[in-house]
Amino acid sequence: MSPREARAFWALLSAVDPRTKDASALRPLSADARLLRTCAELAWSNGLYSAFLARAKEARLALPSTEDARRALEREATDRFARTIELVADAARASDVEHLIIKNAWAVEHVPRDVDVFVPSPKREALVQELRARGLELAYHDEAEISLARADLLRIDIYSRIHYLGRDFLDDAFLRDHTQTASSIGVEYPCLTPEPALLLSSVHTLFGHGAMSLLDFLDQLELRTLMTDPDACTVEAAARGWGRVFELWTARVRRMQHRIYEQRVAVRFPARHGTRFILECVGALDGPRLDTAAALALRMSLAMDDLIFVSERAGLGDAVRRSTALTGAANAAGHRLRILRGDRKGLYADSPKRRWERSQSPAR
């Protein structure tokens, strides 16, 4: 990490960390345009741009016109988030489905890239039909993923299981028994309490993303301070066969916390876990090991994640996203690999792929 990147890291962390929220940390950026751009880029790539804008306003920091496009996108995403939450709630009421928003703002208020919704398995298709009746189109509908999209909304991902690598990591009853109401960006919604939220964040960051953003890291720290029953996490993880993995993950978060806050090391975020650590965690799972095909798919998906990560770091991410062919190929390949390695969001984790028939589409 260059000295400029390190300065940007400390400025952003001091400004958005719930332990400090020191907007004045951004003021030195006004004298260095390159440093300001680096800090803005760091905030953007780590899901902290809304918080960065808020702290910049408090610090009376004038942002350059080069940030206008991002600010417009963030405003648009904020509006889309509110509309998406309201539409999901309306569809859930119409289909008589209890739902949870399982991606919450814990440490820092922010606009998510998508909305993750958990619903009981028997009612999932009813909610999908209600959403489609409201003009959403299916991006995926199979045993690995259900995603729906509409131009004026954030993408909606629907879960009925927290299932990676051929196993359930959380019991749906445990999720439904630990709920509360929260709000973000002025919108209220049903969500998880800190204990299951910490477990979900841990497994999703580890096996779902393969990397931890600065926002993920701050959420991990905040959730650990908000929990009233930390033993519930240990018990649930052990009961689902990943108690040792949770220990490894907790140790990793604590090491990073020590490096940043005690040793004052500027860590590069998003931080890749690395193939070696993920494979160590896979090896620490209870029960039978992955079969040959699943193990190969896992290694291939990790290699693909690394390739995407490197391309983003090299500044090629926007170019790839502008290419419909490249984006489509990457998404299809990544999606197929996750099926093969045993990742599931839906009902059909142990059955052949279910193809959605377009003839079921409700009349518009």
The domain ranges of the chain are 1-62, 64-192
Per-residue pLDDT reduced to its tens digit, 115-159: 999 998 888 899 999 999 999 999 877 665 789 999 999 999 999
Q: Which residues contact 217 (CB under 8 A, 6 or more apart)?
A: 253, 256, 269, 271
The edge-to-edge listing of strands for the beta sheet with 100-101 is: 100-101, 114-118, 155-159, 146-149, 137-141
Dihedral sign (CA 348, 241, 235, 183): negative
User: Which of the four pLDDT bands, split at 50, 70 and 90, describes residue 349?
Assistant: very low
Residue 269 to residue 46: CA distance in whole angstroms? 7
Contact 165, 343 (CB under 8 A): yes
DSSP for 89-135 reads: HHHHHHTT---EE----SSS----SEEEEE--GGGHHHHHHHHHHTT
Per-residue pLDDT reduced to its tens digit, 261-290: 999 999 999 999 988 999 899 999 998 887
User: What pLDDT is attached to residue 356?
Assistant: 32
Residue 304 to residue 58: CA distance in whole angstroms? 40
Rg (CA), the chain: 21
Query: First-to-last CA distance in the chain?
Result: 53
Contact 40, 70 (CB under 8 A): yes
Fold of 64-192: Beta Polymerase; domain 2 (3.30.460)
pLDDT above 70 covers what percent of the chain? 83
- As given in the structure block, the two tokens for residue 144 are 């690995």
DSSP for 135-203 reads: T-EEEEESSS-EEEE-TTS-EEEEES-EEETTEEEE-HHHHHTSEEEEEETTEEEEEE-HHHHHHHHHH
User: Which of the four pLDDT bands, split at 50, 70 and 90, describes residue 335?
Assistant: very low
Whether the model pTM is above 0.75 = yes
Per-residue pLDDT reduced to its tens digit, 292-317: 887 787 878 777 777 766 666 655 55
Could you tell me the CA-to-CA distances from 166 to 107, 142, 221, 350 in Å, in that order? 31, 15, 28, 8
Burial (0-12, 13-18, 19+ Cβ within 10 Å), 214: buried
User: What pLDDT is attached to residue 313?
Assistant: 60
Per-residue pLDDT reduced to its tens digit, 31-51: 999 999 999 999 999 999 999
User: Which of the four pLDDT bands, split at 50, 70 and 90, describes residue 358?
Assistant: very low
- As given in the structure block, the two tokens for residue 51 are 């918080």
Strand partners, 84: none
Burial (0-12, 13-18, 19+ Cβ within 10 Å), 219: buried
User: What pLDDT is attached to residue 163?
Assistant: 86
User: What pLDDT is attached to residue 307?
Assistant: 72
Say yes or no to pLDDT of 331 above 70: no
